[in-house]
Chains A and B, each alone.
Chain A
Amino acid sequence: MKLAGLSYQVARSLLSTQYAYMLEYRAEIALWALSGLLPFIMLSLWSNTQAGLDLGFKGFELSRYFLSAFLVRQFSVVWVVYAFEEDALLGRLSPYLLQPLHPLWRYAASHLAEQATRFPFALCIAGIFFVINPGAFWLPSLWILLLTWLATLMSFTISFLLQSLIAALCFWNEKASALERLLFVPYLFLSGLLAPISSFPPEVRKWSSLTPFPYLIDFPARVLSGLNVDVLGGFCIQILWICILLPLVIVLWRLGVRKYTAMGA
């Protein structure tokens, strides 16, 4: 059975070659992991101010929330638009387009391989966090871990599709990656990376829940940290966004390939 050119063998060899490739860049990936420290800086602010106390988090819940936000972010980082732009500019895209495998599978595989490489570094940072902050230690149940993994995977999928949409625009304008900035700004402020969604004023919370952003960090982080959250509702909205974005990406990609003339042509 093949799905847009992807079979079991292809998937296995893609993942294993991408993993070997990513291992070569482990020093860089460790630094990327470190560059995601923002939730910890925000935690130190929230836990040190009256506004943080007013949030209604009990005990170590706030620490756990931000650690979870950090971890979810680590495994849902997406850079497909940059990789795609480089491939298109350097002409590497042309041979990829000739293969029966859809090029997006290749990018998806490299993201998953990067996450596997990142895993030990993220665990290390979490370990250091618990050494500094031993009271916050908790061991989620297997069931919670499974749900978190699923929610994070969905969050990754939504981000991946959103960026692929912008990447497909590169077929028309080779500098379309600038548009990614417009996606990153609302992501940064509405996803829950800097502040839990529950700290937002009700109006903002209502409007932001109509965007995919709170379901990218806040929802999986709440699941992992064991906070009160509507698990079923969250998953439904995540699936809904995937159902909206996937056809859009496929259509825009088809139109774009028809437009594609390769660099220098």
Chain B
Amino acid sequence: MRRYFDSLKIFWGTALAIQLEYQFNALVELIAMFGSLAGSIFVLSLFFSNGNQLGGWSWEAALTVQGIYTLFDGITNTFLRPNLGAIVNYVREGTLDYVLLKPVDSQFWLSVRTFSPTGLPEIFLGFFLMTWASFSAGANITVGLFFIVAFMLICGLIILYSIWFLIASTTIWFVKTWNATEVLRALLASGRFPVSVYPSSLRFIFTFILPVAFLTTVPAEVLLGNSPTSMISSSLLVAIIFFVLSRLFWLFALRHYTSASS
């Protein structure tokens, strides 16, 4: 366990050092992040023009969903994309061999090897938006509720990670489709809006097949007091299913790994 902790410290220390070399990029990313959030809120506001409601969601409630989406988008940009998006390069160049030979678990190494500090402000901003919007929506936030929502967000994170990892590990077979994660990103963007606004067929997909609902809508509903806190168990169940699936799939994929040029 100690070894994992020490590795993590070295991984993230070097990642930070690399980023400090590119301070101009960090500034550009920061501006782009604010622009992107402003744009998202602008598009959301279009649905509320002329005093309309969005599928029974008030403006503040929909902003809570937007905040949680921003939080997860920040996590994606900080941790998931730099790490899981790189797996295909290891497969293509054959350097995955070295990863497999290391005395730490390969899934651990591939998942936390680096991080991109420029995504961190987005995580804070998302958290702030979620908290502020839910207070404005009149949510009655107790200590107990806070912990329940935090736990559900962690479940959401595990689901998000597992889906990303599942897609990223398919590159063991299909090296050419390195951009499969881009399709996933496009589909996950649907989490910006409450799932109840979509037509029933899409709602089914976003709940049971690609569980976007458990990432943003369900935690928001619980936070706003519109859903029973017992939803925590379904979040946990989905998280466990997806995590076990990603782990098993990785072990299965490794059995098919033949290294580059062989």
Contact = CB atoms under 8 A, between A and B. Distances in A.
Q: Do A and B bind each other?
A: yes
Given A178-B28, A181-B29, A189-B42, A54 B186 contact: no
Contacts of B28: 178-179, 181-182
Interface string B21-38: 010110011011001100
A50 B52 contact: yes
B186 A27 contact: no
A34 B24 CA distance: 33
B47 interface: yes
Contacts, number: 98
B178 interface: yes
Interface residues of A, number: 36
A260 interface: no
A178 B29 contact: yes
Nearest to B51: A50
Nearest to B53: A50
A41 B177 contact: no
Given A31-B182, A44-B198, A181-B29, A37 B187 contact: yes
B179 interface: yes
A179 B29 CA distance: 8
Given A37-B187, A38-B189, A175-B22, A51 B46 contact: yes
Given A27-B176, A49-B47, A173-B24, A35 B186 contact: yes
Query: Which applies to chain B's interface (DSSP): helix, strand, loop or mixed?
Result: helix
Given A27-B177, A48-B198, A188-B39, A41 B52 contact: no
Contacts of B198: 44-45, 48
A199 B198 CA distance: 19
Interface of B: 22, 24-25, 28-29, 31-32, 35-36, 39-40, 42-43, 46-50, 52-55, 174, 176-180, 182-183, 185-187, 189-190, 193, 197-199, 202
Contacts of B53: 50
Contact of A48 (B43, B49, B55, B177): B55
A36 B186 contact: yes
Contact of B179 (A28, A41, A194): A28
Nearest to A201: B49
A189 B45 CA distance: 12
A185 B36 contact: yes
A138 to B, nearest CB: 21
A195 interface: yes
A51 B49 contact: yes
